[in-house]
Chains A and B, each alone.
Chain A
Amino acid sequence: MTAKTLAVVLLGMASLSTRSAAQEITVAAAADMGSALTELAARYQKKTGTSIRLLFGSSGNLTQQIKNGAPFDLFLSADEDYPKQLIEARLAERNSLYRYAVGRLIMWVLKSSSLDIEHHGVNVLLDASVKKIAIANPQHAPYGRAAVAALRHFQLYDKVADRLVLGENVSQAAQFVESGNAQVGLIALSHALVPAMKDRGRYWEVPNDAYPELDQGAVVISRSQHKKEAAAFLSCLKTPEAQAILRRYGFSTPEGKR
């Protein structure tokens, strides 16, 4: 390859990469948003041509990454505390904060389980066959905090505390149950409703009043080079179409709230 062709190729690659960068945003989202956001992003990409890179983790973990300079444009948390922390630290745009969904906590067992959660609800946790109960880590996962609050609400926490196992995030808590290592999990409804899991388990929805509302907040990251595009995607989440998708995946939406 001559120097000239090489230069042309390199220039071409450079222009390609800058062009695609202008139309690509990176969205970091809480683990419970997995399926819903994948569908929402695919639709958005088809409609607008903006490609969306998705990554998922526990909200606490993603917040740490943002604090340490992760190149995200938009952050969809599983609560509102983390986005507010980022706003306080001037790492996220105050006026972009938006409650895009409300999470729902469920008790989940494998289909083959002998536990009658549909009728006995939370009391099955006292069943002798329940050796381990999986929840997300309450220290840094909102669903973990909701699970602990619900257990305290039913005055079960002290009785089951030595049987709790903590997933790093709510997906891992679900994985503990799915792999047959824990008998019951307190996880997100959105997990139980994804196609891969729907036929694998049964669930009982924990009543709303048993835990503080799982308001999920989104913010645009201040360091982002694509704030406009990120805000555009965020406002797309406010459309009735998007909210219908969120409801289908097991979230309440701010309008259609309890």
Chain B
Amino acid sequence: MDWQAFWLTIRLAVVVAAVLVVIGLPIAYWITYSRWRWKFLAEAAVALPIVIPPTVLGFYVLLALGARSPVGRWWEALTGHTLAFTFEGLVIGSILYSLPFAVQPFAASFSAVDTKLIAASATLGASRVETFFRVILPLSISGLVTGVALSFAHTMGEFGVVLMVGGNIPGVTRTVSIDIYDQVQMSNYAAANQTALVLVLIAFLVLSLVYALNRRMWAIWPWK
């Protein structure tokens, strides 16, 4: 069993889920509360990764990271290496790939918050940031948890994007799904089955933990 691949995949999923909380919350906030008339365009753009086939998305990420694109050249000048075939490259691809799975549950739970409470909070002199952290977010915890769990799970099982931009380097970009694919290609069905079973077990464990935590989230929330 390639434990290195498991460790890598878990690290990738955790990093992606964490980054998506940081960038997903403001996007979801804006989508929920903006009154811009063309807002629906942004909503559609956020949902696009659901439609685009992962290998196609991965191919464009590969082009965007390459030495022929401005982004790729800028990164190479900055760091001395290109982003493709690195962990950071996978993180970028996976963030794009999983973005809707974080933003949509976040936005759905924000819009379920009673606007009277937000108005009351403002009347009592709370700033927008305070209102967000003390009213909106506590009332949206289940949406937050769902978004984190979905983006974690979606990244754990990701294949197409990683196949296109990863380059299959052990310990760097060979994730579990790539490992299983390779084993199937070599007719090692038994090994592929074992790896897949462990992947399912780990994913089930982590997701159960997250949802279990969700039920008692109020108990550990600092600003009641």
Identify the A interface with B (CB < 8 A).
58, 60-61, 64, 67, 131-132, 134, 137, 139-140, 164-168, 172, 175-176, 179-182
Q: Report whether B66 and A181 are in contact in the complex, using a CB–CB cutoff of 8 Å.
A: yes
Q: Report whether B168 and A137 are in contact in the complex, using a CB–CB cutoff of 8 Å.
A: yes
- With known contacts A140-B182, A176-B167, A165–B85 Cβ distance under 8 A: yes
Q: Report whether B168 and A166 are in contact in the complex, using a CB–CB cutoff of 8 Å.
A: yes
Contact with A along B56-89 (1 / 0, CB 8 A): 0001001101111100100000000110110000
Q: List 30 A-B contacts (CB under 8 A).
A: A60-B185, A64-B184, A67-B187, A134-B167, A137-B185, A139-B186, A140-B185, A140-B186, A165-B85, A165-B167, A165-B169, A166-B167, A166-B169, A167-B168, A168-B168, A175-B59, A175-B62, A176-B62, A176-B85, A179-B66, A179-B68, A179-B84, A180-B66, A180-B67, A181-B66, A181-B67, A181-B84, A181-B167, A182-B84, A182-B85
Q: Report whether A132 and B167 are in contact in the complex, using a CB–CB cutoff of 8 Å.
A: yes
Report A-chain residues with C-beta under 8 Å of the C-beta of B169.
164-166
Contact residues on B (Cβ < 8 Å of other chain), bracket: 20 to 34
Looking across the interface, which residue of chain A has its beta carbon closest to that of B183?
A: A139
Known: A140-B186, A167-B168. 9 other contacts (CB 8 A): A64-B184, A140-B182, A140-B185, A165-B85, A165-B168, A172-B164, A176-B167, A181-B72, A181-B84
Q: Report whether A132 and B168 are in contact in the complex, using a CB–CB cutoff of 8 Å.
A: no
Q: Report whether B65 and A181 are in contact in the complex, using a CB–CB cutoff of 8 Å.
A: yes
The 10 closest A-B pairs by CB, nearest first: A165-B167, A180-B67, A180-B66, A166-B168, A140-B185, A181-B84, A179-B66, A180-B68, A60-B185, A181-B66
- With known contacts A165-B167, A179-B63, A180-B67, A60–B186 Cβ distance under 8 A: yes
Q: Report whether A139 and B167 are in contact in the complex, using a CB–CB cutoff of 8 Å.
A: no
Report A-chain residues with C-beta under 8 Å of the C-beta of B185.
58, 60-61, 64, 137, 139-140
Q: Report whether A181 and B82 are in contact in the complex, using a CB–CB cutoff of 8 Å.
A: yes
Looking across the interface, which residue of chain A has its beta carbon closest to that of B184?
A: A64
Q: How far is the CB of B177 from chain A (nearest CB, A)?
A: 12
Q: How far is the CB of A157 from chain B (nearest CB, A)?
A: 15
Question: Which residues from 174 to 224 on chain B have a C-beta closer than 8 Å to any C-beta of chain A?
Answer: 182, 184-187
Report B-chain residues with C-beta under 8 Å of the C-beta of A134.
167
Looking across the interface, which residue of chain B has its beta carbon closest to that of A134?
A: B167
Report B-chain residues with C-beta under 8 Å of the C-beta of A176.
62, 84-85, 167
Q: Report whether B182 and A180 are in contact in the complex, using a CB–CB cutoff of 8 Å.
A: no
B interface: dominant SS: loop
- Complex CA–CA separation, A140 to B192 (angstroms): 15
- With known contacts A175-B62, A176-B167, A181-B65, A132–B184 Cβ distance under 8 A: no
- Which of the listed residues B66, B167, B169 has the most CB atoms from chain A within 10 Å of its own CB? B167
- Complex CA–CA separation, A67 to B185 (angstroms): 11
- Complex CA–CA separation, A122 to B187 (angstroms): 33
Q: Report whether B182 and A179 are in contact in the complex, using a CB–CB cutoff of 8 Å.
A: no
Report B-chain residues with C-beta under 8 Å of the C-beta of A181.
62, 65-67, 72, 82, 84-85, 167
B99 near A: Cβ within 8 Å?
no
Looking across the interface, which residue of chain B has its beta carbon closest to that of A59?
A: B185
Question: Which residues from 139 to 169 on chain B have a C-beta closer than 8 Å to any C-beta of chain A?
Answer: 163-164, 167-169
Report B-chain residues with C-beta under 8 Å of the C-beta of A140.
182, 185-186
- Complex CA–CA separation, A172 to B55 (angstroms): 12
Report B-chain residues with C-beta under 8 Å of the C-beta of A139.
182, 185-186
Report B-chain residues with C-beta under 8 Å of the C-beta of A64.
184-185, 187
Looking across the interface, which residue of chain A has its beta carbon closest to that of B81?
A: A131
- Complex CA–CA separation, A16 to B25 (angstroms): 56
Looking across the interface, which residue of chain A has its beta carbon closest to that of B82?
A: A181
Report B-chain residues with C-beta under 8 Å of the C-beta of A165.
85, 167-169
Contact among A132, A137, A175, A182 for B182, CB-based, below 8 A = A137
- Complex CA–CA separation, A139 to B191 (angstroms): 14
Q: Report whether A180 and B72 are in contact in the complex, using a CB–CB cutoff of 8 Å.
A: yes
- Complex CA–CA separation, A1 to B69 (angstroms): 56
Q: How far is the CB of B85 from chain A (nearest CB, A)?
A: 5
- Complex CA–CA separation, A69 to B185 (angstroms): 15
Report B-chain residues with C-beta under 8 Å of the C-beta of A131.
81-82
Q: How far is the CB of A82 from chain B (nearest CB, A)?
A: 10
